[in-house]
Each structure stands twice: as structure tokens, then as C-alpha cells.
Structure 1
Amino acid sequence: MHVGTEEVLLDDSLRLARQAALAGVAVELKVWHGMIHCMHLFAPMLSEARDAISEAGAFLKHHLK
């Protein structure tokens, strides 16, 4: 899960990641400083968004073999 510190759903994301982990779900949470909702859409302009997309791809590749 990716969430920005300026994300309106930050608290919800933190709770969801915690509950998923407690339920045994493979979950990783990364909080991106200064990022907003849907930061991934800004990949053409933000290196953080490109990095986030790469990280998400690596997570999926690992877990969906």
C-alpha cells in the first residue's frame, strides 16, 4: 500500500494495513512524504511516483508468481 502524508485517506490506510497484517495478509505499507491522493498518476512529473509504481510492480511480481 502506498499513501502520502498529505493523503486524505492516510489514517484509513494505516488502519487497513494493520488489520490486513493481523489477518495474515501479505501487506507492505509505505508512507510517502509530501505526496497526495493518486500520486501515481503524476509519474510523468514525479520521480517518487515512478519509484512507487516500480515498487508496486516488484511486490506483485513476488506475490503473484
Structure 2
Amino acid sequence: MAKTNPGQFVRQVRQEVAKVTWPTRKEATISTIMVFVMVVVAALFFLLVDQILASGVKLVFGLGS
């Protein structure tokens, strides 16, 4: 692999960055909101599963209060 000098490297990086399709503000906002919604859904799911498993352990072993 041939080594490139720093100037050529910067030019290549700028060319590649120019090819990127950046999201619009609306797309970024919607994506961010969807991430927060999915985090809340996942947290509630794991809370429910944890409570069910904890109840099962208490029932089987008689542990906890």
C-alpha cells in the first residue's frame, strides 16, 4: 500500500465527505424521537420481564419480602 502525504489525504477525505448524503433536520429529528421511543419501549419490556422473573423466583424459593 502506497503512503500518501497529508495534503493528499485531506483532499481524499474531503472528496469522500462530499459524497455523503446528510439527513435533513426533519429526518434527524424524527430519527431521534424514534430512538427515544424505542428506548422507553425496551426499558418497559425489560422491567416487565424482570418483575415476572423476580415473582417466579420468590414463588419457587420463597425468597424476598
Provide TM-score, normalisation by structure 1: 0.32
Give the structure with higher Rg (CA). 2
Would you tell me which structure has more strand in proportion to its own residues? 1
Would you tell me which structure has more helix in proportion to its own residues? 2
